[in-house]
Structure 1
Amino acid sequence: MKGLKFQTRLILGFSTILLFSFIIGIIAFIEIKTISKNTESIYHHPLTVSNSVRDINISINAIHRSMKDVVLAKNIEELYESILLVNKHDRQVYASFKIVKERFLGDKEVVNDTYSAYRDWEKIRNEVILLKKGGHDERAADITRGRGAFQVNLLFEKTKILTDFAQSKADEFYHNTVESEEKSIAILIFSISLILLISLITAVWLSKSISRPIHNFIEEISTIFTNQDDLIDNIQNKSEQEILGITSKKLRSGYQKLNDFNKELDQKIEQRTSELKEAKEKAEESEQLKSAFLANMSHEIRTPLNSILGFSEFLKKDNLPKEKKELYLNMIDNGGQRLLTIISDIVDISKIESNQFSLSYEITMLNEILDNLERQFTIVTNKKGIELKTVKSLDDYSSFISTDVTRLSQVISNLLENSIKFTEKGTIEFGYKVNNNKLLFHVRDSGIGIPKEFHYLIFERFRQTDTQESKLHTGTGLGLSIARGIVELFGGDIWVESEEGTGACFYFEIPHLPTASSQVDKKIKTDEFFLHTEGKTILVVEDEPSNYIYIRDLLSEFNYNIIHAKNGQDAVDIINTKINIDLILMDIKMPVMNGLQATREIRKTNKKVPVIAQTAYAMLEDKRQALNAGCNDYLAKPITFKAFSEIIQKHLSHTN
């Protein structure tokens, strides 16, 4: 052993350790594979099967509850909402059954029997839904309570068999895993002890072998830089001291490599510093955009306010000519509408950013939406000498769809306003076509166009292109950003195709949700059912005198009987006097008792009278609170004549 070189000694020592480590590793690998196999079995059968059966039970319960909602549905909207929930959980049941069929280790007939029982229940459900759609409510309820309930209980009994079998298998695999674990721990303890012993022996042997050469190396390393010419390049048959001395040359090479690495590191630090600087510039740009937006908002809000306040002062003058009075009133109305648009844009973008923006689907005629928008914007385009065209690929009857009318109109309106703003002459065309179960809308203009380098930012908040800014057009810079947020909420996409000087074409695509013929016919009959409602008594709960006067004058168009309550407590007292009230307009923020508290008190004694919340609170949570308190509908201020008359007619027609 003494005649062996240092390198040979190291090889022998570490080879011994590696040999024992390899043997122990093989043993550990075999045990790990055993544990892995048991664990995989637990995953592939008991765990997955149990979870899938549990998911089936949860979905069956959810379907059973939804079927009750189907039976209890008061209108077509509630019915289809319940059916959608049934279909959703039905798909989850089939997905879970697929997993159980693939991984169940027992008799497959048990799974098939349970699956057949579920299919039988599905037939019963379909029968109930058909009866409900056909108006046979009592028969649908009887089947749900009878055969439907019996089939559900039978399903739970059959799924329990699957769960019990899976639990039994889980116990079996668990015991096997525990045994493997105990065996592996014993082998591991033995292996560690053996390796420690071998390592100790090897360490003692190596320490004796290298201690003397290390001392010689220290002496040699001290002369490395002064006696480089005496170093021998050929290390064959040389002593360890000579080999270590030659190795010292590599220290210099390593130092050089370290120096090169430091230079490379400096370059990376410089690059990272540049990236941080760029990020800082972007953050500063974002801050500048916000500041510019606030400045723009100040200008946009003050401009219509100046018009409203200024012309209001003129109207106070006596003997003002009629034509000037009409002109001033128009200017005030235009300023108010412009101010309302600005506030609405700010509220909408805030809702989108806080995820409080939601859609309210209803059945409507798509062609009618386009016709209304055409009538609305024709006045503006005619003044500018622009031809406005519409393209509709469906006839009126086929264009009935389920959508959020307000939000869809808002997207198209924002795109039309953008086109009108930047088009001085020519044509503007908007419309839609059906493309692979989707509705593809477009708004095409012959305006100034948008340079390609600005396409990526026009849908960002607070952004306006340089071309737009150069024209000094008014606007918040939020219209296209709001449009994108709404389209994405629909589950669609929006984009633009344009070049500078060639006009622009905005496209957006949303899912096409056509309406069944029976629903279309019912919708048409419902629209024809709005009755004349003169002589009805309406309780207006409003603490602001100006707001009450405005609502009173709106109602005077229909010859309603009006009762005024100045706060929620007065409204409750009036209802308790048993006066026949046909509808309540309830403000929310009031002294003494607010509108939500008053509605809850009214609902304790009167469940039928329609209550419409009319408030300046316009966020989603505010609407939800009003409906939860017992309100039938929600009307956000400022109140327009069209929206006001429609919601009043809607609820009073159902009380006839």
Structure 2
Amino acid sequence: MKSLKFQTRLIIGFSIILFFSFTIGITSFVLVKNIGNSTEAIYKHPFTVSNSVKDINIGINAIHRSMKDVVLANNTEQLHQSINLVNQYDKEIKNAFSLVSERFLGDKKIVNDTYKTYTKWKKIRNEVIYLKSNGNDIEAANITRDKGAVHVNLLFQKTKILTDFAQSKADEFRLESLKNSKNSRFILLLIISIILPLSTISAFIISKSISQPIHEFIQDLRMLYQKEGISENNIHDKSEQEILTETIFELKQAYGELKDFNTELDNKIDIRTRELKVAKEKAEESEQLKSAFLANMSHEIRTPLNSILGFSEFLKKEDIPKLKKDLYLNLIQSGGQRLLTIISDIVDISKIDAGQFNLCYETCQLNKLIDDLFNQFSITNTNNRVSFSTNKFFSDENSYISTDTTRLSQVLSNLIENAQKFTRKGEIELRYELTNNQLLFQVKDTGIGIKEEYHEHIFARFRQNEHDKSIVQSGTGLGLSIAKGIVDLFGGEIGVESEINHGATFFFSIPYLPTTASSLKEPEENNDLLLQRAGKTILVAEDEPSNFIYINDLLNRYNFNVLHAKNGQEAVDIINKKTNVDLILMDIKMPVMNGLIATQEIRKINKTIPVIAQTAYAMADDKRRAMEAGCNDYLSKPISSKMFSQIIHKHLTETYHN
């Protein structure tokens, strides 16, 4: 030992200690791995399978209850809600079956057999839904009580087999884990009892062999401390081994910390570099989309504004022929409608983002909706090389469904307008069919087509097909994005199939909810009835002069007495004076006092007078706030004369009868 260098002695000593440590580490790793494998097996099979089977049983119970609700549904809305619950639980059960099939350690035929039983039950449910939808309530109830109930009990029996198998596996894994744990403790105790004495002996021999060199090192260290003016007490009362151990430990610790710091710093630099690269790419893409969108919005808004302002200037002249005057008025109205469409697109996408885009189900004759769209686009089509056609699945008398007619028409219009924009010649076909209790709509064109790499992004907002720059692409770039948002609300799916220069087919599906023609409500004409309310006094709270002039002219057509308040405070003052007012039209955004506060103040004075909110705000929350403030109804600007007359008649009639 004396012939060995100090460095060699340390290497030998550290090698022995490292060998012992490595032995313990490898042994511990193997034992812990065995326990970990057992634990993982418990999780992957008994725990996951049991929970998934539990979820399946809960879902089966929930579907069984919902099918009873389907049978007991009194109207289309209740039926639709119950069917949606069934479909929701059906998806959850399918996910649970998928997890059971993946993790089940027994014979997969058991799982497949259970799932086939569940699939057969789904056919029974679909039969019940079909019978209920077609008015066969008694037959639907009988199937649910008899064949459906028997199938549910059979499902529970089969899922119990899965649960029992999982429990058996859990007991098996538990016994194996206990055995591994017991063996691990014994092996570790045995190794430690051997290694500790060997380490002690090795440490004693090594420390003795290097005590003299360490002593000389300490003497040199003391001389160094004295030269540096450091008190000798820092090392005087410590042993050689303590000083050496502390020195080595501090050096190793400092080196390890420095290494860890460098590694951490390198990792942070790499992560930050990647983040900056991704952020830069996103920022560049966002900037490009924003610039393109702003440029497009500027063009889309300025184009109708140009016609509105230009033709309005022409109308100031007194010598304009009537035909030209009518043409100018039509162009101004068309430009205003185009501006309203742009604003509506932006509002709709904002509603979708805010989660305030709701569907309003009503009875709709689907074939009539298709025919109306066909007539609309056939009339407005300016390209005689493009023809429109339709293909309808149902006969007219069987095409009544429950849906949001406005939103369904909006989706189809957006898809047809998109096809019209990129089709130079050929045909645009609108068709629908019934498949798997879903209505599948298709808009097929013979246009320029869409490159495959654009398919993934075609429904993203502000995205437009950039294949052919020679085609002027008008529009906000939001139409397809809005269409996707509406289809998602319907619970359907939307997609596109296209090849470049071979046209495109946009398709989407929505749930099929059949109904009857008797549920369809025909709108009433109120103009004659409005004349019967002539002489009534209406207070118009409106700060914008042009809006008041328009409303005043509408009311004067029916010989109403009109009072004008320029802000909410004036409206409250008029009511405070006990003025005989039969109805109030209340603008929401006004100076001095807004319409909501004014309505609250009026309700303190008069709780019965009808108050109709009229506002340019378009969010669902705005209507709720108006109703909470005390308003009886809500008119959204721009106000159409037809809707205006219907609302006025409704509330004056209610006041008259009261």
**Shared fold (TM-score greater than 0.5)?**
yes
Relative to 1, partners in 2 of residues 1:653 and 1:448: Cα closer, same or farther, differing over 3 Å? farther
Code of the residue aligned with 1:527 in structure 2: it is E
- Give the aligned partner of residue 168 of structure 1: none
- Give the aligned partner of residue 345 of structure 2: 345
- Give the aligned partner of residue 527 of structure 1: 522
Code of the residue aligned with 2:562 in structure 1: it is I
- Superposition pairs of residues 486-501 of structure 1, within 5 angstroms: 486-501=486-501
- Give the aligned partner of residue 177 of structure 2: none
Q: Percent identity?
A: 53
CA distance in 2: counterparts of 1:346 and 1:386, whole angstroms: 29
Please tell me whether residue 618 in structure 1 is matched to residue 614 in structure 2.
no
- Give the aligned partner of residue 438 of structure 1: 438
Please tell me whether residue 305 in structure 1 is matched to residue 305 in structure 2.
yes
CA-to-aligned-CA distance 1:236-274 (integer Å, 9 cap, x gap): xxxxxxxxxxxxxxxxxxxxxxxxxxxxxx9xx999979
Code of the residue aligned with 1:561 in structure 2: it is F
Q: Which of residues 189, 200, 204 is equivalent to 1:204?
A: 200
Code of the residue aligned with 1:563 in structure 2: it is V
Q: Say if 1:364 and 1:402, in contact at 8 Å, map to a contact too.
A: yes
Please tell me whether residue 563 in structure 1 is matched to residue 562 in structure 2.
yes
- Superposition pairs of residues 390-405 of structure 1, within 5 angstroms: 390-405=390-405
- Give the aligned partner of residue 539 of structure 1: 538
Q: Say if 2:449 and 2:498, in contact at 8 Å, map to a contact too.
A: yes
CA distance in 1: counterparts of 2:79 and 2:376, whole angstroms: 37
Please tell me whether residue 635 in structure 1 is matched to residue 635 in structure 2.
yes
Q: Say if 2:360 and 2:403, in contact at 8 Å, map to a contact too.
A: yes
Q: Say if 1:495 and 1:508, in contact at 8 Å, map to a contact too.
A: yes
CA distance in 1: counterparts of 2:523 and 2:502, whole angstroms: 46
- Give the aligned partner of residue 287 of structure 1: 287
Displacement of 1:545:
2.5
Relative to 1, partners in 2 of residues 1:404 and 1:8: Cα closer, same or farther, differing over 3 Å? closer
CA distance in 2: counterparts of 1:415 and 1:569, whole angstroms: 47
Q: Say if 2:17 and 2:199, in contact at 8 Å, map to a contact too.
A: no
Secondary structure at 2:469's aligned position in 1? helix
Displacement of 1:443:
1.6
Code of the residue aligned with 2:487 in structure 1: it is V
Relative to 1, partners in 2 of residues 1:468 and 1:493: Cα closer, same or farther, differing over 3 Å? farther
- Give the aligned partner of residue 178 of structure 2: none
Displacement of 1:533:
1.9
Displacement of 1:294:
0.9
Q: Say if 1:351 and 1:619, in contact at 8 Å, map to a contact too.
A: yes
Please tell me whether residue 469 in structure 1 is matched to residue 464 in structure 2.
no
Secondary structure at 1:343's aligned position in 2? helix
- Give the aligned partner of residue 137 of structure 2: none
Q: Say if 1:610 and 1:632, in contact at 8 Å, map to a contact too.
A: yes
Displacement of 1:407:
1.9
Displacement of 1:424:
3.3
Q: Say if 2:28 and 2:188, in contact at 8 Å, map to a contact too.
A: no
Secondary structure at 1:597's aligned position in 2? helix
How many residues get paired? 486
CA distance in 2: counterparts of 1:210 and 1:654, whole angstroms: 106
CA-to-aligned-CA distance 1:59-101 (integer Å, 9 cap, x gap): x9xxxxx9xxx9xxxxx99x95699599969x99xx9xxxxxx
CA distance in 2: counterparts of 1:16 and 1:212, whole angstroms: 25
Displacement of 1:597:
2.7
Secondary structure at 1:455's aligned position in 2? helix
Code of the residue aligned with 2:500 in structure 1: it is E
Code of the residue aligned with 1:311 in structure 2: it is F
CA distance in 1: counterparts of 2:20 and 2:386, whole angstroms: 93
CA distance in 2: counterparts of 1:612 and 1:570, whole angstroms: 17
Secondary structure at 2:473's aligned position in 1? coil
Q: Which ranges of structure 2 fall in alignment gaps of 5 or more residues?
A: 1-11, 93-183, 212-265
Relative to 1, partners in 2 of residues 1:388 and 1:9: Cα closer, same or farther, differing over 3 Å? closer
Code of the residue aligned with 1:336 in structure 2: it is G
- Superposition pairs of residues 368-387 of structure 1, within 5 angstroms: 368-381=368-381, 384=384, 386-387=386-387
Secondary structure at 2:355's aligned position in 1? coil
CA distance in 2: counterparts of 1:86 and 1:307, whole angstroms: 50
Q: Say if 1:538 and 1:585, in contact at 8 Å, map to a contact too.
A: no
**291-300 or 191-200, which moves further after superposition?**
191-200
- Superposition pairs of residues 584-599 of structure 1, within 5 angstroms: 584-599=584-599
Relative to 1, partners in 2 of residues 1:552 and 1:403: Cα closer, same or farther, differing over 3 Å? farther
Displacement of 1:332:
1.7
CA distance in 1: counterparts of 2:537 and 2:78, whole angstroms: 32
CA distance in 2: counterparts of 1:555 and 1:297, whole angstroms: 36
CA distance in 2: counterparts of 1:635 and 1:629, whole angstroms: 15
Secondary structure at 2:467's aligned position in 1? helix
Secondary structure at 1:331's aligned position in 2? helix
CA distance in 1: counterparts of 2:636 and 2:441, whole angstroms: 29
- Give the aligned partner of residue 219 of structure 1: none
- Give the aligned partner of residue 359 of structure 1: 359
CA distance in 2: counterparts of 1:507 and 1:575, whole angstroms: 59
Relative to 1, partners in 2 of residues 1:505 and 1:191: Cα closer, same or farther, differing over 3 Å? closer
Relative to 1, partners in 2 of residues 1:8 and 1:481: Cα closer, same or farther, differing over 3 Å? closer
Displacement of 1:477:
1.6
- Superposition pairs of residues 90-239 of structure 1, within 5 angstroms: 201-208=197-204
Relative to 1, partners in 2 of residues 1:368 and 1:610: Cα closer, same or farther, differing over 3 Å? farther
CA distance in 2: counterparts of 1:625 and 1:380, whole angstroms: 39
CA distance in 2: counterparts of 1:18 and 1:298, whole angstroms: 70
Q: Say if 1:315 and 1:325, in contact at 8 Å, map to a contact too.
A: yes
Code of the residue aligned with 1:207 in structure 2: it is A
CA distance in 2: counterparts of 1:338 and 1:463, whole angstroms: 20
CA distance in 2: counterparts of 1:412 and 1:488, whole angstroms: 14
Q: Say if 1:497 and 1:506, in contact at 8 Å, map to a contact too.
A: yes
CA distance in 2: counterparts of 1:626 and 1:307, whole angstroms: 36
CA distance in 1: counterparts of 2:359 and 2:273, whole angstroms: 45
Q: Say if 1:538 and 1:560, in contact at 8 Å, map to a contact too.
A: no
CA distance in 1: counterparts of 2:652 and 2:191, whole angstroms: 89
CA distance in 1: counterparts of 2:26 and 2:312, whole angstroms: 99
CA distance in 2: counterparts of 1:504 and 1:87, whole angstroms: 31
- Superposition pairs of residues 3-82 of structure 1, within 5 angstroms: none
Relative to 1, partners in 2 of residues 1:348 and 1:14: Cα closer, same or farther, differing over 3 Å? closer
Relative to 1, partners in 2 of residues 1:448 and 1:25: Cα closer, same or farther, differing over 3 Å? closer
Displacement of 1:380:
0.8
CA distance in 2: counterparts of 1:591 and 1:606, whole angstroms: 23
- Superposition pairs of residues 450-465 of structure 1, within 5 angstroms: 450-465=450-465
Relative to 1, partners in 2 of residues 1:440 and 1:500: Cα closer, same or farther, differing over 3 Å? same
Secondary structure at 1:527's aligned position in 2? coil
Q: Say if 2:537 and 2:580, in contact at 8 Å, map to a contact too.
A: no
Secondary structure at 2:457's aligned position in 1? coil
- Superposition pairs of residues 244-255 of structure 1, within 5 angstroms: none
Q: Say if 1:384 and 1:424, in contact at 8 Å, map to a contact too.
A: no
CA distance in 1: counterparts of 2:599 and 2:416, whole angstroms: 41
- Give the aligned partner of residue 600 of structure 1: 600
The two structures have a TM-score, normalised by structure 1, of: 0.59
CA distance in 2: counterparts of 1:533 and 1:377, whole angstroms: 35
Q: Say if 2:539 and 2:581, in contact at 8 Å, map to a contact too.
A: no
Code of the residue aligned with 1:549 in structure 2: it is I
CA distance in 2: counterparts of 1:631 and 1:364, whole angstroms: 30
- Give the aligned partner of residue 548 of structure 1: 548
- Give the aligned partner of residue 96 of structure 2: none
CA distance in 1: counterparts of 2:188 and 2:427, whole angstroms: 85
Relative to 1, partners in 2 of residues 1:623 and 1:528: Cα closer, same or farther, differing over 3 Å? closer
CA distance in 1: counterparts of 2:310 and 2:635, whole angstroms: 30
**354-363 or 324-333, which moves further after superposition?**
354-363
CA distance in 2: counterparts of 1:631 and 1:651, whole angstroms: 12
Relative to 1, partners in 2 of residues 1:614 and 1:271: Cα closer, same or farther, differing over 3 Å? closer
CA distance in 2: counterparts of 1:467 and 1:12, whole angstroms: 68
Computed over aligned residues only, the root mean square deviation of the Cα atoms, in angstroms, reads 5.7
